[in-house]
Amino acid sequence: MNDGTPRNLIEIARESGGTDTVPPVDLGVRVRELRKARDWTLEQAAKQAGLARSTLSKIENGQMSPTYDALKKLAVGLEISVPQLFTPPAAEKINGRMALTRAGEGTAKATTTYEHELLGDQLRKKQMLPYRARVRARSMDEFDGWVRHDGEEFLYVLTGVITLFTEFYEPVEMRRGDSAYYDGTMGHNVISTSAEDATILWVTSLV
């Protein structure tokens, strides 16, 4: 695949996200998180699990190692399995993250067919890759085959007129305000049919 495909942007985003290793689960912290996620007080959680409040407090603060019987009671009270007490959440829960990108201050990534401006590039471990693109291409001949990548993609036309080519559908002309949502594994390319380069907003899921 040539360097004019959005796939490179996805690879760049994944590389910048790092490969942090997951630390071992702290049982006390895990139990406290599970309790607070249910909006329970120590008293409420202890009653639900059939444990003394002091026992639960010691477990959460790492002041005692619970017996298997106590772990089983905790799991039943929290309505989960015992192994889940030692398993991190499926997705890291991050609250309050925000990245502000002023006009023209995105990270530039120019290719032969597009001029990309990555938005929110300072955030790590993103679930989406948003970027603004100026479409240089005027013909499908300028692409080395279809663009394909994992995940889903959303396209919104900001200025000009484009034609969206996809592997399984007829080409569709799109104008300012038009949008499309499609499977990124399906071959796709975009060309500008305006007198000037069209600009679009692309949002790609990172999976």
When pLDDT is cut at 50, 70 and 90, the band that residue 188 belongs to is very high
Return the closest-CA partner of residue 31 out of 53, 60, 69.
60
Per the CB < 8 A criterion, the answer to whether 114 and 133 are in contact is: yes
Helix (H, G, I), strand (E, B) or coil at 80: coil
When pLDDT is cut at 50, 70 and 90, the band that residue 54 belongs to is very high
Residue-range domains of the chain with CATH: 7-18+98-205 (2.60.120.10), 27-86 (1.10.260.40)
Q: What is the mean pLDDT of residues 7-33?
A: 63
When pLDDT is cut at 50, 70 and 90, the band that residue 138 belongs to is very high
E-only strand ranges, the chain: 107-110, 114-118, 128-135, 152-159, 161-166, 172-175, 179-183, 188-192, 198-205
The model's pTM = 0.59
- The predicted pLDDT at position 204 comes to 94
For residue 21, pLDDT beyond 50: no
Q: What is the distance between the terminal CA atoms of the chain, rounded to a whole angstrom?
A: 19
For residue 91, pLDDT beyond 70: no
When pLDDT is cut at 50, 70 and 90, the band that residue 179 belongs to is very high
Q: What is the mean pLDDT of residues 133-145?
A: 95
For residue 151, pLDDT beyond 80: yes
Give the up-direction half-sphere exposure of residue 21: CA atoms within 13 A in the CB hemisphere. Answer: 2
- The predicted pLDDT at position 48 comes to 92
CA angle 18, 19, 20 (to 5 degrees): 100
